[in-house]
Structure 1
Amino acid sequence: MNFDRTKHSHCRYNPLKDEWILVSPQRLSRPWQGRVEDDKNDNDDDSDINSNEKPTNPLCPGAIRGKNNQQNPFYEHTYVFENDYPALLADIPDPKNDQNNNNDDLFQCHAARGVCKVMCFHPNSKLTLPRMTLDHISHIVKTWIEVYRDLASQYQWVQIFENRGDVMGCSNPHPHCQIWATDFLPNEARIKHRTQKDYFLKHNGNVLLLDYIKRELNDFNKERVVIDNEHWIVVVPYWAVWPYETMLLPKRHVLRLSDLSDEEQKGLGEIMKQLLIKYDNLFNTSFPYSMGWHGAPTGDLINEDCSYWQLHALYYPPLVRSATIKKFMVGFEMLAQVQRDITPEFAAETLRNLSGEIHYKDKKNT
């Protein structure tokens, strides 16, 4: 018997996180009698629920929100404000000495300072990003960079992230993301800071993710490439965990979001729209996901040589078989090792063959 990665279980290594992923393609035939989600994500995003004079959604223009009854401006593109219920505070004292002993191998604690912002993408609460115009998406990209640049001057890490869909825990359907900045490197950032540096030193100054996309393009016949343009590439990573997980990277060496050229910003808006149309077209639903940007550290680390870093975004969607069946991270995955059923190659081919130009709702209207 010869090994067949499309039929036989195997493990794949993720050099970015220094961990292994169990791939089990033989499980695809198992019957599903577990939880089935309501397909609540298929919103009518052609209608604008903000047309009322007194909107009830706290994120829409003119709404009153938060503990202090702040009124939103009547914004036309993006709008950024400090989270009314932040997970981080900027001005807090250090723990007392007996609670802040870094020499203690078992009990360590440090103050966590930061800021949490909310960024609304668009005034229409029902309009999702893949159905926005490229002009609106360009405003999103530019606002990301403006806020990132401002927070990067003060904090070691700036995390831009979007949770889309109630299945991902999104508490408000209005198109928005969050931007948290911390005075420390969170776990994911700390691990990638180490792994990319280790690769850089081991491979004579080569950048891990640049070597990776070069090999995806040249050595593997683009089998995991979903889409690319002049400046950007989207792949289902060889080590992907989530069923239709993707990674979005610039083709040139870029450390941080604020380093993107005008042309790269334009290309980013175009490829994001195409990717998200593909996602929605997969199961004819408003595809849920968590996504976020990772780049070189900032704040008091910005002057360090971080040339081993490469900017990238990650999309983690949970749906696996249909709009109502999602992947659960439980059991073996929580207690031993993460696992997936469909291969990354199958996921990439499926997404690649979908239209990235015409949204399924626009097909209905033609």
Structure 2
Amino acid sequence: MTRITMTRLADGREILYFDDAGSAERPAASLVDHRDLPARPEPGQLRFDALSREWVAVAAHRQSRTHLPPADECPICPTTPANQTEIPAPDYDVAVFENRFPSLGPDTREIPAAPGWGTAAPAVGRCEVVAFTPQHTGSFAELGWPRTRTVIDAWAHRTEALSALPGIQQVFPFENRGADIGVTLHHPHGQIYAYPYVTPRAAVLAAAAGEYFDRSDGTATLTSSLLRAERSDGSRMVLEGEHFSAYVPFASRWPLEVHLVPHRPVPDLAALNGAERDELAQLYPDLLKRLDALYPTPTPYIAAWHQAPLEPARRRAGHLHLQLTSPRRAADKLKYLAGSEAAMGAFINDTTPESVAARLREVASEPAGAAARTLTPEGAPA
């Protein structure tokens, strides 16, 4: 089993080491942060937008956060005498710690239940960083099965722990990969946000899921229904396993978009059993490698784990799934959100889901080093 060790950084933030199965116990000396850190900044604000009825986090203190430092100054590499980092140990497998420049937190509690114009509150919640590997270079797809399995255990552990904090309504593990997405660190890593409210996108998905669940008298989730339909149709399927399957959705919004769905309707990563986690550790990197195989250079992406909100009325209809998206529409072109998408939320996709799925199936069988083909604006292989 994954070995878990918890300690504190010099300013009081929590850090947890998740070491691969069979690892030895961590030496106590490696758990001490010897830095002289300033006190944690005051939290930002949550402000309520009465026009959309959505919460907005105001976090001006994040302007000073680290931005794409050189490798010898990376804050999430293991600590060395020349570079004392956020991770005090000289080596680690996977590390999770509270963000030094969080959008939310560090306090967790309820926010105003009946907000209106002018309602503001401290930006409570939790933001954590997940360092996937001690290696400064590389990608999630290259971690290997044992380390990927450790990351999955870390996601599950943190989902369960953060869900239990006062006032938390939603837990969101995700990875932003690539400078085109806006990452601030090159080191392979992800994040976990624990929100004190249900986010706008999650609320929309939860409403649709709830309506379907009620119409089926509680016998099926919307996500499981969509998975059955996609598997039956077949034209947009990318891969199928015993416990998980992946497909390009019928009405995908992004040039590259794949949903990875467990066959069993579970609400979150913490609810996955051992066999499901084992297979996920195989299929998820497979999916990421297919994305990278499409073009000669690595594909930027957002890997978003949609977990059920914690409110019981919304949770009962929830079904964990990954939405993996990329704005890349050609080897040298990105999709930018223009007026229709950014202002109105009305997406226009320049690729067809069927051709994208076909290409993602094809690249799995191509020999290593084969010249990557590109997708035309219509989505057909060029």
Q: TM-score, normalised by structure 1?
A: 0.75
Identical-pair percentage: 27
For the pair 1:60 / 2:60, whether they are aligned, the reply is no
Q: For residue 10 of structure 1, what is the aligned residue in structure 2? A: none
- Mapped to 1, the partners of 2:180 and 2:86 lie a distance apart of 28
Query: Aligned match of 1:344 in 330, 353, 357?
Result: 353
Q: Structure 1 residues 224, 93: closer, same or farther in 2, change over 3 A?
A: closer
Cα distance in 1 between the residues matched to 2:254 and 2:355: 13
RMSD: 2.8
1:272 paired residue among 278, 284, 295: 284
Note closer, same or farther for the CA distance 1:266–1:332 as it changes in structure 2 (3 Å cut): same
2:340 is matched with 332
The alpha carbon displacement at 1:179 in A equals: 0.8
Residue of structure 2 in register with 1:73 after alignment: 89
Query: Secondary structure of 1:167's partner?
Result: coil
SS in 2 for 1:246: strand
Shift of 1:70: 4.9
Structure 2, unmatched stretches of 5+, are 1-69, 373-382
Query: Offset at 1:227?
Result: 0.8
> Structure 2: which amino acid aligns with 1:61?
P
**Other-structure match for 2:253:** 241
Q: What is the CA–CA distance in structure 2 between the aligned matches of 1:320 and 1:275, rounded to whole Å?
A: 17
In structure 1, distance between residues paired with 2:82 and 2:103: 17
Counterpart residue number, 2:207 = 194
- How many residues matched? 299
1:203 Cα shift?
3.0
Q: In 2 relative to 1, CA 280–103 (structure 1 residues): closer, same or farther, beyond 3 Å?
A: closer
How far apart are the structure 2 equivalents of 1:290 and 1:159? Answer: 12
Could you tell me whether the CA contact under 8 Å between 2:213 and 2:222 is conserved in 1? yes
Give yes or no for contact 2:78–2:85 (8 Å, CA) kept in 1: no
Give SS of 1:320's match.
Answer: strand
> Does the C-alpha gap of structure 1 residues 151 and 64 become closer, same or farther in structure 2, counting only changes over 3 Å?
farther
Given the alignment, which residue of 304, 308, 315 partners 2:317?
Answer: 308
CA–CA distance in structure 1, aligned partners of residues 217 and 284 of structure 2? 33
The 3-state SS of whatever aligns with 1:313 is strand
Give how far 1:130 is off. 1.4
Q: Which residue of 2 aligns with 1:355?
A: 364
What is the DSSP-based 3-state SS (H/G/I as helix, E as strand, rest coil) of the residue aligned with 2:363?
coil
Once structures 1 and 2 are overlaid, which stretch shifts more, 110-119 or 70-79?
70-79
Deviation at 1:108, TM superposition (A): 4.3
Structure 1 contact 277–356 (Cα < 8 Å) conserved: no
1:126 is the counterpart of 2:137: yes
Q: Deviations over 1:291-346 (max 9, x none)?
A: 11111223xx3x55733111001111111111x21111112222342111111111
Deviations 1:69-125 (A, max 9, x none): 755312331011111111112338999xxxx79374x55445441011101001111
Distance 1:289 1:199, change over 3 A: same
Q: Deviations over 1:159-199 (max 9, x none)?
A: 11100000000011100001111221111222222111011
What is the CA distance between 1:239 and its match in structure 2? Answer: 1.6
Looking at structure 2, the residues matched to 168 and 213 of structure 1 have their Cα atoms a distance apart, in angstroms, of: 28
> Is the Cα contact below 8 Å between 1:162 and 1:292 reproduced in 2?
yes
* Equivalent position of 1:45 in the other structure: none
Larger RCO, structure (CA 8 Å, separation 6 or more): 1
For 1:263 and 1:209, locate their aligned partners in 2 and report how far apart those are by CA, in whole Å: 21
Contact kept in structure 2, 1:292 and 1:314, CA below 8 Å: yes
**Consecutive unaligned residues in structure 1, runs of 5 or more:** 1-48
**Distance in 1, Cα, partners of 2:200 & 2:76:** 30
